[in-house]
Structure 1
Amino acid sequence: MLVAGISLCLSAGLMGCSSDGDSDSGNGGGNNGLPALSDSQINAPDGQLSARIQTTTGGVPHITADNLESAAFGSGYVQARDNVCLIADSIIRARGERALFYGPGPDVAAALPVGINVVTDFSYKALGLLEKANEEFTELSAPSQAMLRGFAEGYNKYVDETAPSDLPAKCNQAPWVRSISAEDLYAYYQLVALYASGDNFVQGPLFAAVPPNTSPAPMPAMPAASADAASAEARLMASNVAGLTPEALGLKTDYNDRGMGSNGWGIGSEMTENGKGALLANPHFPYTGNRRLYQMQITVPGVYDVNGAGLIGIVIPLIGFNDNVAWTHTVSTAQHFTLYDLTLKSGDPLTYIKDGEEKPITQKTISVEVNVGGGNTATFERDFYYSEHGPMLAGNVINSNLPSWGGNFVGRPTAFTYRDANTDTARIVVDQWLNMGRARNVDQFQQPFESCGSVLWVNTMYADDSGQAFYIDGTSVPSLSGGALQAFQARANTNPVVGGLFNAGVTLLDGSRGLNDWVEGDCEGRIAYDGMPKLERRDYVQNSNDSYWATNPDEFLTGFSPLYGSTESILSPRTRMGLAMLENPTDTGLSTVAPAGSDGKFTGEEIIKALYSNRAYYAETLLDELLARCDTADTTPIATDDSSSRSVAEGCTALANWDGVYDVDSRGAHVFRVFIGDYDPAFPSEFSMAFDPANPETTPGTPNEAPADISQDPMLASLARGLDKLDQVNIAYDARLGDVQRQQQSTGTPPSGMPGKSGSPIEWHGNQNLEGGFNIVRPDTGRVEDGTRYPRSAPAGTLANTGSLSSTANEGWLIAYGTSWHFGLSFTDEGPQGYGLISYGQSDDPSSAFFQDQDLRYSAKDYRKLLYTQADITADAELQTETIETSVETEAGAE
């Protein structure tokens, strides 16, 4: 849908293709419709920080303070208390200091024998995260500065008061657990902002970007102090760029895959029991590492009162609710950077030609300190390179069809660079979510977006107590002119590499033409509010990681920049499952749960039960047909390839006895999973009913007619091959799902250790994208916790086309990703009523009481009521209350 997407943008008069808007200081004043904040509401008086922390069931802290700085102080303290190792690792990652503390790490690949910690440290320093944080901190808004300072002080209070020997196992006695500054925290927020853009390039493309005949190997800044150190250094200097490809480095080639997903519903007055709004929040994030979510309530009377969750290390909730509004996020399909191929000057790889003028490629020497063993450290240096757009990248490491620096592309010597729309958005992160959480109605909620705000890389679904539902893709998207989009359309249509890259989530622009520069506007080259896809409804808005286009099929959204995602394109089966529940709210499908009860009107508790119903779109649309073909086949051998065949009768029996959902007691659910993993009806050729853009909820559909020779039936052949996979790992066809799909966290292991498994496996309900599941869970074969260097216990491998089935006998699916912070909420006359969990608990420390308490509750579908009012908090049976305080030197005191 590339051509259609661009044409729609052009025909709509470039709606969404240019920028205009107003900037705002972020302090709540000006044109954002919220009352301005006073100094006493923002800053702690005379540096006296004080916060009351009430901890309730599940280890949820409710933090109350008189000002934002003190509230952030409480946030930093409780997050350190529960996840100090993750925060400490995040800070040294953003500072480019992992190699200093952890050593070089394992080689990236045989083709690039440099330790991964060295590569990423250099890359993060090349992105300038800490350097920019130090330079820009005083330019942040007053609330942002205060809250970052407060969080750092709260984190430091916990670290200062905790003996190194009392820290959790993974960072026990670790030198990298130390006091942090507000600038350190801001550097980490810059890294978070780049998750869907520049962070994709730190494990190879940025490091390998060197001119012809130049090695990317870092060089020691001075001679080695010992023979052992010299030997260690030699390994770091043995790299070259020959043979580097994304495949060789283990990098992704599909940039649409963000490693994160989510479901979100905003439900309006027409579809709720009381005419007020309701919300489903269902992020699908990793269960380990620094993209875990952490729940807390922060209250500053008269200013802010939000219960929700955010990424660990972020000062305030990113998904949550207050008295009047609730919101959630899903990962957007939008692109947040543009790649440029530069035309190099003949004979000069450090000069490029743009509109006939010579432009320099500049270079900067960056140094990284590395622990080379034996108590020795060494400083290494290397040059990194930059165009006017941003850092240079190794094209061949981004995509195998692109050349390395100086190679020929489109008939000319080329080098690659990129510009990132989230490079500078970290400075508005706190302001954006602070003001969203202060909003009391949809107009106020929209104002941070109108003021050149950004939610980085996520869509937003919203509902409020007036019954208004709202959707926006408020992410950071490059603003290109109509002429640039027309030129790109022509280029993509004629150059298969450019077209293929666009379909993989990368817009490659011709850097020899100024036409392709971003339109700066008032939002620094990002598309402003007027050009963002958005929709207000009184029935519902939804997103499950497809584009904005079918937010509500009764009102398709079109006419926006193609960089926001495709339109009139096939929806994922997960999106279709969600739409089926919204548009048929009394239909139970194959489950026993009507999404909105017998009256077809939603409440918050019905929403969480709908999520837990574990329905699967392909089960509801294909199972009957598959069983009918099973009956026809009986015991007939089904061909699995040109030379093999087998009976599928026993598998068919398991499917006939399956209840059609993915509960822990469901028997045979995994048989359908291995069938659908092979059959994979995402390809329209499997269906006789073609895709109809007017009816994307149900098309394409209906399998092709069965062949006359049932032994050659493609559906049964997929079932047969799936059964073979189960046989290989000795899994019975009639096993309970809870016996073959489980979750088991790892023990706390430092970067140099070997991971083990913590406790016993926990039965896990939920399903996967490939089967059209909605309550998504899936395994993770990564050997370290997401975004960290902490080792984790992971499946030994996977068998192809089985939905990540472990290759270990009897092991099944070991879940480590998916439904995490999730809740259903409705507004009532008594205020917001929410129900949900964080499915992996609040703490990543195996010795904590909050390490797997919510894991067990998730397994049993035992969701919590989300406590919001002081009366509910006070009545909690597990309530614990403390007050924390500290005094910090103010600027006046320093004088």
Structure 2
Amino acid sequence: MKTIRWTRPLAAVCVSLLMGTALIGCSSDYHNNNNDSNGGDQLSDSQINAPNGQLSATIRTTTGGVPHITADNLESAGFGSGYVQARDNVCIIADSIIRARGERAKFYGPGPNVADALPVGVNIVTDFSYKALGLLDRANEQFDELSPESQAMLRGFVAGYNKYVDETDAADLPAKCAGAPWVRDISVQDLYAYYQLVALYASGDNFVKGPLFAAVPPGVSPAPAPAAAASVSTPTSAQATAIASALRAATPEALGLKSDYHERGMASNGWGIGGDMTENGKGALLANPHFPYTGNRRLYQSQVTVPGVYNVNGSALIGFLIPLIGFNDNVAWTHTVSTAQHFTLYDLTLKAGDDLTYIKDGEEKPITSKTITVEVNVGAAQPVPFQRTFYYSEYGPMLAGNVINSNLPAWGADFAGRPTALTYRDANTDTARQVIDQWLAMGRASNLAEFQQPFQSCGSVLWVNTMYSDASGQAFYIDGTSVPSLSPQALQAFSARVSSNPVVAGLAANNLTLLDGSRGIYDWVDGSCNGLVAYDGMPKLERRDFVQNSNDSYWATNPEAFLTGYSPLFGPTENILSPRTRMGLRMLENPTDPGLSQVAPAGSDGKFTGEEIINALYSDRAYYAETLLDELRTRCETAGDTAIATGSGDSRSVADGCTALANWNGVYNLDSTGAQVFRVFIGQYSPTYPAQFSVAFDPANPETTPSTPNPAPGDVSRDPMLVALAIGLNRLDQAGIDYDTPLGEIQYQQPYSVSPPGGNAAPAGNPIPWHGNQNFEGGFNIVSVDTADVEDGTRYPRYAPAGTLPNTGSLSTTPGEGWLIGYGTSWHFGLNFTDAGPQGYGLVSYSQSDDPSSDHFADQDQRYSAKNYRKFLYSDADINADDNLETETIEGTAPTESDDADG
């Protein structure tokens, strides 16, 4: 064991916080970390705040770079968390902060155009939009209203982050941000503003690349202008008109508007398994988020312990100070992205001749405005301030409707026989103030009643479902997200509106609710939770067998107990389930059946353990392989060497592809040959329901229907399955991929580096073979290609394929390159409770640090590739016995007051 003692005082240089330190020796007297707290206990000041502001945390780092942080109070625990996260991922946090502050253009310049036809830099557009959302303004206003626990932990995290920044020479930072001026001390308001941004991932954050920026009255240009005399010309009238037109003509895809959460890097699988389905009668859990491998939605594992108060091992989005998915001695939980809606759109009825006044229930209402300033680096000695006016209704910011959807009207255009303008109300505008308290209470719970309590008190988990299990063998599901509360009368009136207005109906089919802003009946019901659905109205289920979710709605959480009768804003019911959900249910409902793999999900006894759960995930099964492969092989035998039509006027034999399929083992292991053939087949076949299947969807049996391909036609050359195969094989030929190459040679994760700041991304080390399958294949252990040229949620460049082929799961156009994985199974584990405590097994698939010089940049990547999961260390005895243990104690002084974040 190596012990590190800190002897250097904090640097005196601080931008937003004054800090000092008092030195004490490194202690080896660790506290017993049993979670002996009660989620309902009131905490004392000494449990919350560091005495006299003197912060101290002990950090034990174990195999894989996992920090176990122990402190005597929550403030010091936050201090340790901030320090280790900066140590491992400072560049990500620094970029996240300037994003929330609306300062990317100040440091990075205007950035590339938002769309080819839109001559406005993306950094300018998003900076204005985030400021229009008021993230930093709200942080300044609300920080003093946060709970003592939240304030203390935010202060601590910021102090820890700043300690690392102050003590690290700028040239010694990771290459992607070495010497960068945006890596600087932050304030508690900065961090809180970032939490508000994260809270809006499934709502307001959808609008920052165009709809907010383009929302101006008729005749007004959205082009910003210099705020004062400067050597930067104001856009001409023609340029301003071009900008306005380009914004409205740009496609939603070009502007980053995506309703599919997977496309936004947000999807997951989760199982809560009750005692009836485990070997020892205690609970078990699968946590399997599918998030991007790069950028600010990376997950980071840590254990945070304040004896007698809190003790959770888990992971959080980088920059969050306590785990969001994890476990303690008695309870474990995970999250998946919900289908629920977290905002409602409103079309306002404008007053005739007045584009800044709307009519509601016969009363005139003003559309207000606010002038916002953004600084832009234009290559001069100092950034140039630019200004723009943004507009607001009583509900929230105005939106350019025709940018969101071509069927929606522009501001002032006719809609349903009246001049209109679009706005929205966001259910997560203010929920960030509860984020720390919500997850702190969940992590302090020792049983289901305590775990449910923060939900019952109008808490929110923002935009994710929750699956839970505990040591008593109880499993629990809840969609505890922030969902607008509409009255029964409003829901009935909206249903009639859907029936009569095809635009409203089309939006509703895509999970968007457009309400008539001229009628007060559509206002949210204040109720007990300030306009949000309260606990009693949330979909939830307690079971002793299982609960599960893979991003379908709450409806089929367990097909033995369908959930119905909830607000339609929580998502659809009695609808076809995704193939990924069906693959998960297939494993849960048939726990001794290995399918095409060699792995029975729960072993021969059909009773799960944590280790069996992780192995079930790693079995790399896929629903469509298990339901369509036999039929496809049969049709291959019928086809022989027959030339199969490809739909482009020519034809080809599929015999070689059929041979590869005959030799495929049906799963997506590194040594699997032929998996690529099935992938391009299913990508082209792209099952549609019920058109291609003879057994119709049955709401009573959603796990298995629809099913069974339609009978083969008499003309083999035009068999839809074989045609799809022929087209897919052409794609493989085009990409230079052999049909029988082992999957691990053509599906891989490529570590890369970025140097210097603003430079290009280049490979860092050899490609790492990557097992797993894709969503459209009906895979469960999901991996996929990320084609973005910047890291998720950042402006850092990333290594990506130069181009991809359609209907192939983003197969690279570069000959022989294959699938360059950048998204999917990330932080993941199987866990079961035992008499000896929680036993968890898993990995952070892309490792703990994004710094190529770190020992923990690719160590867990290699383990994922080899299916060599870690046993999670939780007890003091296990942590202290780790062969790679390093121990350090860090100290500092908390800020004495909340400085203005704009100071």
Q: Deviations over 1:743-768 (max 9, x none)?
A: 11221346622221221111000001
Report what 2:243 is aligned to: 240
Q: Deviations over 1:711-768 (max 9, x none)?
A: 1111000000000000111100001111111111221346622221221111000001
Report what 1:19 is aligned to: none
Report what 2:867 is aligned to: 861
Partner Cα distance (1:235, 1:465) in 2 = 68
Q: How many angstroms does 1:376 deviate by?
A: 3.4
Which among 277, 282, 293 is matched to residue 271 of structure 1? 277
1:581 partner amino acid: M
Q: How many angstroms does 1:522 deviate by?
A: 1.8
Report what 1:161 is aligned to: 167
**Change over 3 Å in CA distance of 1:749–1:785 after alignment to 2:** farther
Matches within 5 A, 1:72-151: 72-151=78-157
**Change over 3 Å in CA distance of 1:890–1:253 after alignment to 2:** closer
Q: Deviations over 1:351-387 (max 9, x none)?
A: 0011111100000010011111032321111110000
1:552 partner amino acid: N
Matched-pair contact (CA < 8 Å) for 1:246–1:398: no
Matched-pair contact (CA < 8 Å) for 2:252–2:404: no
Q: How many angstroms does 1:74 deviate by?
A: 0.1
1:397 partner amino acid: V
**Change over 3 Å in CA distance of 1:891–1:148 after alignment to 2:** closer
Partner Cα distance (2:391, 2:596) in 1 = 57
Report what 2:259 is aligned to: 255
Which among 739, 742, 747 is matched to residue 736 of structure 1? 742
Partner Cα distance (1:889, 1:599) in 2 = 56
2:479 partner amino acid: D
Q: Deviations over 1:442-484 (max 9, x none)?
A: 0000000000000000000000000000000000000001111
Matches within 5 A, 1:437-476: 437-476=443-482
Name the SS for the 2:159 alignment partner: helix
Partner Cα distance (2:427, 2:898) in 1 = 37
Alignment of 1:608 onto 2:611 = no
Partner Cα distance (1:393, 1:302) in 2 = 48
Matches within 5 A, 1:329-344: 329-344=335-350
Matched-pair contact (CA < 8 Å) for 2:367–2:391: yes
Name the SS for the 2:855 alignment partner: coil
Alignment of 1:834 onto 2:840 = yes
Report what 1:521 is aligned to: 527
Partner Cα distance (1:293, 1:443) in 2 = 28
Matched-pair contact (CA < 8 Å) for 1:750–1:790: no
Q: How many angstroms does 1:683 deviate by?
A: 2.7
Which among 616, 627, 632 is matched to residue 626 of structure 1? 632
**Change over 3 Å in CA distance of 1:889–1:387 after alignment to 2:** closer
Q: How many angstroms does 1:232 deviate by?
A: 10
Q: How many angstroms does 1:231 deviate by?
A: 8.7
Report what 1:299 is aligned to: 305
Alignment of 1:62 onto 2:68 = yes
Alignment of 1:490 onto 2:493 = no
Report what 2:315 is aligned to: 309
Q: How many angstroms does 1:238 deviate by?
A: 7.3
Name the SS for the 1:376 alignment partner: coil
Report what 1:825 is aligned to: 831
Partner Cα distance (2:330, 2:869) in 1 = 23
Aligned length: 859
- Which stretch shows the higher mean deviation, 575-584 or 680-689? 680-689
Report what 2:286 is aligned to: 280
Unaligned runs of 5+ in 2: 1-37
Report what 1:46 is aligned to: 52
Matched-pair contact (CA < 8 Å) for 1:246–1:399: no
2:475 partner amino acid: A
Matches within 5 A, 1:769-784: 769-784=775-790
Partner Cα distance (1:734, 1:183) in 2 = 55
Matched-pair contact (CA < 8 Å) for 1:748–1:845: no
Name the SS for the 2:843 alignment partner: strand
Q: Deviations over 1:508-557 (max 9, x none)?
A: 00101000010011211110100000000000000000000000000000
Q: How many angstroms does 1:315 deviate by?
A: 0.5
Name the SS for the 2:244 alignment partner: coil
Report what 2:364 is aligned to: 358
Report what 1:26 is aligned to: none
Alignment of 1:377 onto 2:396 = no
Matched-pair contact (CA < 8 Å) for 1:108–1:116: yes
**Change over 3 Å in CA distance of 1:232–1:180 after alignment to 2:** farther
Partner Cα distance (1:627, 1:779) in 2 = 27
Q: Deviations over 1:793-815 (max 9, x none)?
A: 11112211111111111111100
Matched-pair contact (CA < 8 Å) for 1:749–1:790: no
**Change over 3 Å in CA distance of 1:687–1:371 after alignment to 2:** same
Matched-pair contact (CA < 8 Å) for 2:265–2:823: no
2:380 partner amino acid: G
Matched-pair contact (CA < 8 Å) for 2:39–2:451: no
Which among 636, 651, 661 is matched to residue 655 of structure 1? 661
Alignment of 1:216 onto 2:231 = no
Which among 413, 431, 437 is matched to residue 419 of structure 2? 413
Partner Cα distance (1:846, 1:568) in 2 = 47
Report what 1:17 is aligned to: none
Matched-pair contact (CA < 8 Å) for 1:114–1:235: no
Name the SS for the 1:586 alignment partner: coil
Matches within 5 A, 1:745-764: 745-749=751-755, 752-764=758-770
Aligned-residue sequence identity (percent) comes to: 75
2:727 partner amino acid: R
Q: How many angstroms does 1:891 deviate by?
A: 5.7
2:458 partner amino acid: C
| TM-score of the aligned structures, taking structure 2 as reference length | 0.94
RMSD: 1.6
Name the SS for the 2:144 alignment partner: helix
Name the SS for the 1:688 alignment partner: strand
Q: Deviations over 1:361-418 (max 9, x none)?
A: 0000100111110323211111100000000000011111112111111111110000
